[in-house]
Amino acid sequence: MADLIQFPRGFGEQDIAAWGTTGLVCLDAASQTVIKTPHNNGNCRRVQVEKTIYERFDQRGGHNSGIRLELAPNWNLSSFLRRHPEIGIEQGLRWARQVTDALCFVHAANVIHRDLTLNNVFLTQDLDIKLADFSGSSLDSSNLLVSIHASHRYPGPLLSTNADIFSLGSVHYTIMTGKLPYQDLSEDVTALFKEGKFPETDTLRPLRAIIRKCWQVKYKSVADVYKDIKGMTFDIRVRMY
């Protein structure tokens, strides 16, 4: 199997850090960065789109909440929450604020992420978030090259900032509950969203109103979501689970 893998020059099987749908990620231990290459020629376009997007971000000065290909030793937020389900509300709100701030930067660069889930939110050693995986994203209104999980899928036009705002609501919900929206339902979740039926959020302090407004797309921009989160106060004695 290893003989069929297209490794970056100078890397081998021992350097594999992750394996995704479009490419292989190898760790450069010397610089503590990772290198992503396509699995095959069919995935070259998606990896090239991602490379161009990262270059756009670098031109805009980068972002402290992270969209750089550096090592995230705590892996993605989805797997972290499975291992550490008793995360306090203060930490949860910090992540919600960081991922919203990062998405503001993404939209300002005329990029639509479109695959905004906790699988693509990575964690540094200090548990700060790094938003990643732009291989299916839209740059300057280019076509989307990815499909998203039904629990995060906007029931309206997908090539829009509204679609990312909707997904952001599902990201916040998952941070707060440890579950995907409607995770335990066998029904067609997309149909429920189209009817304006969403999971209960009344108990999800302090983000309950923000999550609901994201799903209902009552925000004009992600910047407006961030304004609501930035100055939020909460009782640190409240636990999320």
* Residue of 23, 30, 2, 22 lying closest to 14 (CA atoms): 2
Express as a percent the part of the chain with pLDDT over 90: 50
Indicate whether 227 pLDDT > 50: yes
The confidence band for 33, taking pLDDT boundaries of 50, 70 and 90, is low
Residue 19 reports pLDDT greater than 60: no
SS (H, E, C) the chain: CHHHCCCCCCCCHHHEEEECCCEEEEEECCCCEEEEEECCHHHHHHHHHHHHHHHHHHHCCCCCCCCCCECCCCCEHHHHHHHCCCCEHHHHHHHHHHHHHHHHHHHHCCEECCCCCHHHEEECCCCCEEECCCCCCEECCCCCCCCCCHHHCCCCCCCCHHHHHHHHHHHHHHHHHCCCCCCCCCCCHHHHHHCCCCCCCCCCCCCHHHHHHHHCCCCCCHHHHHHHHHCCCCCCCCECC
Question: pLDDT value at position 48?
Answer: 80
Whether the predicted model's global pTM rises above the 0.85 cut? no
pLDDT single digits (tens) 92-119? 999 999 999 999 999 999 999 999 999 9
Burial class (CB in 10 A: 0-12, 13-18, 19+), 98: buried
Give bridge partners of residue 25 from the DSSP assignment.
Answer: 18, 36
**pLDDT value at 233 more than 70:** no
Closest alpha carbon to 96 in 70, 71, 73, 116: 116
CATH topology for 72-230 is Transferase(Phosphotransferase); domain 1 (1.10.510)
For the segment 116-134, what is each residue's pLDDT rounded down to a tens digit?
999 999 898 899 998 988 8
* pLDDT at residue 40 tops 90: no
65 touches 96 (CB < 8 A): no
| 8 pLDDT tier (thresholds 50, 70, 90) | low
Looking at residue 113, what is its pLDDT? 94
